[in-house]
Structure 1
C-alpha cells in the first residue's frame, strides 16, 4: 500500500451536510436531487444514521465544489482543541466535560460549538486585557475581545476558506497575462506597469529617509517608496501588493464583507491578508507552481529559485494550493519568534494550534532560530497519535538602523502520511517521531522534562518525596 494510502473510515458528517445545504439555500429534496440521492437517504445522512460513502463525497465535490477533506472526522481538530481548552479552564473544569462529549458537540452542532469556543476566547482575551490594565493602572480600556481576538477572527476566516480564494487567483491570472509577467526579472515589468497605468513611480530610498518603514505608498507624490532594506527577492512582491490595493479594491472589499468579521479593524486586517494573497498568486501562478512542486517533490530551495521568492513566501503560497480538482499537498505554516509568539499561522484545519500560552519547546522550529538558513526536518507525534512532518528554517530580517536583526522560525508541515512525496523527508527514513504537544496546558504527557505548566484538565498532585521527569505531578482528572 502506498505510504499515503489509508483505509477510508466511516464518516458521519450530518451536521456539516445540513449546514452546507442551508448555506446554499436548498431544501432536502433539492439537495438530494442535485446529489443523485433520495430525499429519505439524505435525511438519514443528515441525522448521522448513515455514514457518508465515497460516492457521496465525490458527488459533493463535483456538485458543490467543496473539498471532501472538510467532511473527514478529523477535519475539526482546531475546533476540538478549542473546546478542550475551554473545558479545562478552572471556571468550567468542575463540570468534567470529557473529550468524547466535546467531540460529539463539535460533530452534531458545529455552529453552537464554534459559538461556545469564540465566547471562551473572548472571555480569555478580556480577562487578560483587564489584568494588564490593572497592572499598568493607566491607558484606555481594551476593546471588547482585545486585539488578540481580532487577529484570531481573521485567522479563523482564512481557515474557513482553506486559505484559498479562486476569485483572487483569477484576477491575478488576468493581470499577469495583461502585463506579460514571467518568472524572471519581474521588477522592471511591474514598475513600468505601475507607472503607465497608475502613474506611480517606484523609488528605492535609504533607510534613514524611510524612517524604519519598508513600504510606503505616497499618493501625493504618486510614488511607491521601498526601503533599501527590502531584499531584492521581495521587491516584486511589494509592487504586487500595491497593485492589489490600487486595482482590486472592490474585490477585496467584497471578500472582506463576505467573511462576516466582528469589527472594522478585523476587516482591514483581512484585506491586508488578501492583498498579500493576491501578490503571491501573481508571482507564483497556481498551475505553474503546482506542477513545479510535484515535479521537484516540493523541493523548497528549487521552488524559491524558480519563482524568485523568499522562503517565507513560497511556504505561504504552498498552503493555498487547495483548488478543487487540482490540489497540492495539505500544508500548514507557522512563523514564531524566540519567545514563542506566533505571528503568522495558516492551515488550522490540518493541525490544531494553541489559542493562548506558548507552544511546545520540543518542536524543532525553536532550534531553527539558533541556526538560521539551515533546514531542520523532523517527524513529530501529538498526544492524540497524529503524526506529522515539519520542515523548519530560521529566517533573518533586517531591522531599522540601531536595532538587532529580527530572527523568526518558519515551519512548513503536513501529515506524516505525505512524507514520501517530499524530498526533504528522505533523510528521515525509519525515524521514530518525537513526542510533542500543542502547548503544555493541553498536553497530557507526564514524562516531559520541559513541561512549563501542568495540564489544565488534570488535577495537580505534588509529592514532596518524589521528583519525576516533569516538575509537576498530576492525577487522572
Structure 2
C-alpha cells in the first residue's frame, strides 16, 4: 500500500501538481542512473507512459506510484512533495507554467521544449522576462474616465456603510492598545512606539523623491519620510497612512480601483489612530447632549488638521450620533477635490457619476467662505436648496500651494446640535440643475453674450491617461535610486 504523511493513501492528493511531480520523477530517475526504458522494465510500464508522467501530462495510478517509490528507494511522500527537487527543476516548471498562461500565449510564440542542453541562465532570463510581462500587464493604469468611474463607485460604497469601516476601527484600536493609549492627542513617543510595535524603524530624510509622500523598504522594514508637511499632510499623518497599508495587509494594487480603495482605507486607519473611536465617541456624544458639536473642538482636542477632524466626524456621525451629513473639499474656484454625503445633498456630477473635478455652486458655504471678511475664521451658513435646507460650517485650511475650503454640512433639522446654528448667513441655490450660478444673470448675458472670447487654462489632463505604474504617479526609478543611496544607512 502507498502511505503519505504516515497514513495509508486511498487516493491521490487533490492538490497534486503534475508538472512538479513529473520533475521530481525525472530528477530521481536520473540521479539513480536509469533510463526511461530501464525504469519501465522495473515497474512494468512502457517508456512512453513514463515519459507522459515526467512531462506532467498524465496522472499516476496508486499502484504505479508505489512501484516507482520502491524502485527509486524513496517514500511516496517524497515522490509527491510539492517542492521542486532542484533550482533547475524549478526553472523548468516555471517556464512550462509560463507557456500555459494566456498572457504568454498572446505572444504567439512556438512552444519551447526545455532539454538538458538549454543552460540555466537562459531559463533564468525567460522566467524573468515572463514575470516582467505579467507585472506590466497588471499595472493599474486608467484613463481619466475610468478613474472617475472608480471613484464614483467607491464613494457609493462609502455611502452605503455610512462611511464607517468597523474592521479598520478594530485594527486601529488594537494598535492603540499595544502602546498603552489612554486618551487625548497621541504623543510623538506613542507614534514611534506604534512604528516599533509593527516591526518597522523610522528614518527622516531630506532627499525623498518628489513623486512620493513616503517610501517603505519592506526588506529592511524601514519607513522613510521627511519632517516637513506635504500640502495639508503632517509627517505623523503620512507615517500612519503608510503604516496602515501594512497593518491592513494590503498587497500590490490589482488595478486603479484597488489603488483608490487601499488609499481610502490607509487614510481611514491614520484618522482612526489619531482620533480614536474609544475616546472621540463619548466626547462627541457629550457635545451633542450640550448642543455644542463643533469640528474645531475635535481638531483642537486631538491636534489634527481641520480636514481630518471634519472627515473623521463623517466616520462616526451616522454610527454613533444618529446624524447624516456631507463633507466637501474644494478650492477657491469651486472645483471639488473630495466629497461625501449620506444626507441627500445633490452634488454636480458628470455622466459617470463622478463629483471630483466638478464646480460647485457659488452660493454654497465652501465658496462663500472665500468671500467672508476673514476667510480664515470659522464660517457658518444656511443654504436653501431644491431638496431642502442645509446648515454648513466651512473653514479655509491654508497651504503653501493652494487654499482649500473644508465644509461639513447637515440637514436643517440637525443643525440644532451644532455650535454656530444661530448664524444669520443664508443663501439660496438651485444648483446643480436649476437656474442658478451656472448661467450668468440675464442682464449680463444680454450685454456680453457673443462679444467675448475667453482663453481657458489648458486641461491637457482630460485627454491623457492617468499616471501608469503599480502605484500610479510614482517615479519608480527615483524610488529605487533613493533606496540604493540609503541601503547602507
What interval of TM-score do these two structures reach, taking the shorter chain for normalisation? 0.5 to 0.7
In structure 2, do the counterparts of structure 1 residues 323 and 379 end up closer, same or farther at CA, with 3 Å as the change threshold?
closer
In structure 2, do the counterparts of structure 1 residues 230 and 372 end up closer, same or farther at CA, with 3 Å as the change threshold?
farther
Q: C-alpha distance in 1, partners of 2:297/2:157?
A: 31
Question: SS in structure 1 opposite 2:258?
Answer: helix
Q: C-alpha distance in 2, partners of 1:309/1:162?
A: 22
In structure 2, do the counterparts of structure 1 residues 471 and 236 end up closer, same or farther at CA, with 3 Å as the change threshold?
farther
Q: Is the 8 A contact 1:336 1:344 kept in 2?
A: yes
Q: Is the 8 A contact 2:295 2:313 kept in 1?
A: no
- In the other structure, the counterpart of 1:410 is 406
Q: C-alpha distance in 2, partners of 1:192/1:432?
A: 46
Q: Is the 8 A contact 2:142 2:256 kept in 1?
A: no
Alignment of 1:450-469 (within 5 A): 450-452=437-439, 467-468=442-443
Q: C-alpha distance in 2, partners of 1:204/1:168?
A: 27
Alignment of 1:356-395 (within 5 A): 356=350, 357-369=358-370, 372-384=375-387, 386-395=388-397
Q: C-alpha distance in 1, partners of 2:440/2:160?
A: 31
Give how far 1:276 is off. Answer: 0.9
Q: Is the 8 A contact 2:334 2:366 kept in 1?
A: no
Q: Which moved more, 1:266-275 or 1:287-296?
A: 287-296
Q: C-alpha distance in 2, partners of 1:406/1:201?
A: 33
In structure 2, do the counterparts of structure 1 residues 209 and 283 end up closer, same or farther at CA, with 3 Å as the change threshold?
closer
Give how far 1:159 is off. Answer: 1.5
Q: Which protein has the bigger helix share?
A: 1
Question: SS in structure 1 opposite 2:328?
Answer: strand
Q: Is the 8 A contact 1:151 1:266 kept in 2?
A: yes
Q: Is the 8 A contact 2:227 2:235 kept in 1?
A: no
- In the other structure, the counterpart of 2:429 is 436
Provide TM-score, normalisation by structure 1.
0.55
- In the other structure, the counterpart of 1:341 is 335
Name the count of aligned residue pairs. 292
Q: Is the 8 A contact 1:334 1:346 kept in 2?
A: yes
The CA RMSD measured in Å over matched residues stands at 3.1
Question: SS in structure 2 opposite 1:378?
Answer: strand
Q: C-alpha distance in 2, partners of 1:277/1:185?
A: 16
Q: C-alpha distance in 1, partners of 2:185/2:277?
A: 16
- In the other structure, the counterpart of 1:214 is 213
Matched, 1:236 2:236: yes
Q: Is the 8 A contact 2:179 2:193 kept in 1?
A: no
Q: Is the 8 A contact 2:327 2:407 kept in 1?
A: yes
In structure 2, do the counterparts of structure 1 residues 197 and 144 end up closer, same or farther at CA, with 3 Å as the change threshold?
closer
- In the other structure, the counterpart of 2:113 is none
Q: C-alpha distance in 2, partners of 1:378/1:166?
A: 32
Q: C-alpha distance in 1, partners of 2:446/2:410?
A: 31
Q: C-alpha distance in 2, partners of 1:340/1:378?
A: 16
Q: C-alpha distance in 1, partners of 2:202/2:299?
A: 24
Q: Is the 8 A contact 1:213 1:227 kept in 2?
A: no
After superposition, give the CA deviation of every residue in 1:165-192 in whole Å (9 maximum; x if it has no partner).
Answer: 1111122222211121243343222223
Q: Is the 8 A contact 1:334 1:342 kept in 2?
A: yes
Q: C-alpha distance in 2, partners of 1:312/1:286?
A: 17
Question: SS in structure 2 opposite 1:434?
Answer: strand
Q: Is the 8 A contact 2:195 2:243 kept in 1?
A: yes
Q: C-alpha distance in 2, partners of 1:142/1:282?
A: 31
Q: C-alpha distance in 2, partners of 1:212/1:372?
A: 31
Q: C-alpha distance in 1, partners of 2:444/2:410?
A: 30
- In the other structure, the counterpart of 1:186 is 187
Q: Is the 8 A contact 2:172 2:273 kept in 1?
A: yes
Give how far 1:244 is off. Answer: 1.7
Q: C-alpha distance in 2, partners of 1:147/1:433?
A: 36
Give how far 1:292 is off. Answer: 1.6
Question: SS in structure 2 opposite 1:225?
Answer: strand
Structure 2 unaligned residues grouped into runs of 5+: 1-140, 351-357, 448-489
Provide TM-score, normalisation by structure 2.
0.54
Q: Is the 8 A contact 2:293 2:418 kept in 1?
A: yes
Q: Which of structures 1 and 2 has the bigger CA Rg?
A: 2
Alignment of 1:245-260 (within 5 A): 245-249=245-249
Give how far 1:281 is off. Answer: 1.4
Give how far 1:438 is off. Answer: 3.4
Alignment of 1:62-461 (within 5 A): 143=143, 145-181=145-181, 182-198=183-199, 200-206=200-206, 209-211=208-210, 213-219=212-218, 222-230=221-229, 234-249=234-249, 264-296=255-287, 297-322=292-317, 324=319, 326-356=320-350, 357-369=358-370, 372-384=375-387, 386-398=388-400, 405-426=401-422, 428=423, 431=424, 433-439=426-432, 442-443=433-434, 445=435, 448=436, 450-452=437-439
Give how far 1:156 is off. Answer: 1.6
Q: C-alpha distance in 1, partners of 2:425/2:304?
A: 33
Structure 1 unaligned residues grouped into runs of 5+: 1-140, 257-262, 399-404, 455-466, 473-477
Q: C-alpha distance in 2, partners of 1:225/1:150?
A: 30
Give how far 1:314 is off. Answer: 0.5
Q: C-alpha distance in 2, partners of 1:286/1:171?
A: 11
